[in-house]
Amino acid sequence: MVFRKSVTLAGAALLMGTLMSGQAQAIQMWHSDTVWANQGMCAANFTFDSGLDRVQQLKVHIQVLDKKSNKVVAQDVIEVEEFGGSSADRYATGYWHSEIACDDDLRLVVTQANAVVDDERMDLLARQALDIRPFVPYEITIQAPARAQAARPDACSAAKFNVQAVIQDKDGYSNVRAQPNGKSDVIEKLFDNEPFYTFEQKGNWWQVCTPSGQVGYLYHDRIRQQR
């Protein structure tokens, strides 16, 4: 699961995405995921984009602040040994492991960052060579599979059963009775979103035909018609 946390650079609001022509591009960093690890620990994952430059011995020092109190609650170093130099190795992942890494109300501040870029050792903050990229994950939903239309039972094929309906009952089910009264035997239960057939009638008890082909009676205020 991705938790949105803010990451800022100490002493700078925004850093340049690309340095002057002929120099190395800025390394980009973003918080890409947070997952539960073993023994109550969480792992915050950070993706780094080398921009195709060869990056070695990357060390990013972070302070972790509580958003509400603005107090430092943890400090750590995110390390990546080597990446970049080709499109196949352009990206790398660094990790911060902590019991609090899955908390929502955290803000990260990069206080120091160093690396060897194209064989040159750099103070990335001093050279404005580290850039924080905001990352917003896609919203993902699941579409329920369409239910196959069940064959209409023969008993429900009578011309009078011209209305398809479902129940409306806070209990999630309604009792279909053999006769039009509340003391009659229950012959079947109908559940939420289970279609059945009926028709416009007078009185409190309406005749219905269930998905199994049973003909019985249901109290009228438990019926929601689907014309």
What pLDDT digit, counting tens, does each position of 119-160 carry? 999 999 999 999 999 988 888 988 766 666 668 899 999 999
Tens of pLDDT, residue by residue over 169-181, are 999 999 999 999 9
Which structural domains are found in the chain, ordered by start?
6-132 (2.60.40), 154-225 (2.30.30.40)
Predicted structure pTM score:
0.58
- As a whole number of angstroms, the distance between CA 198 and CA 204 comes to 13
Task: Decide if pLDDT at 100 tops 80.
Answer: yes
What is the DSSP code string of 10-60? TTBSS--SB-STTSPBPEEEEEEEEEE-STT-EEEEEEEE-TT--EEEEEE
Nearest CA to 99 among 46, 51, 36, 151? 36
pLDDT of residue 15: 36
Contacts of 51 (CB under 8 A, 6+ apart): 24, 25, 26, 27, 28, 84, 90
pLDDT of residue 141: 85
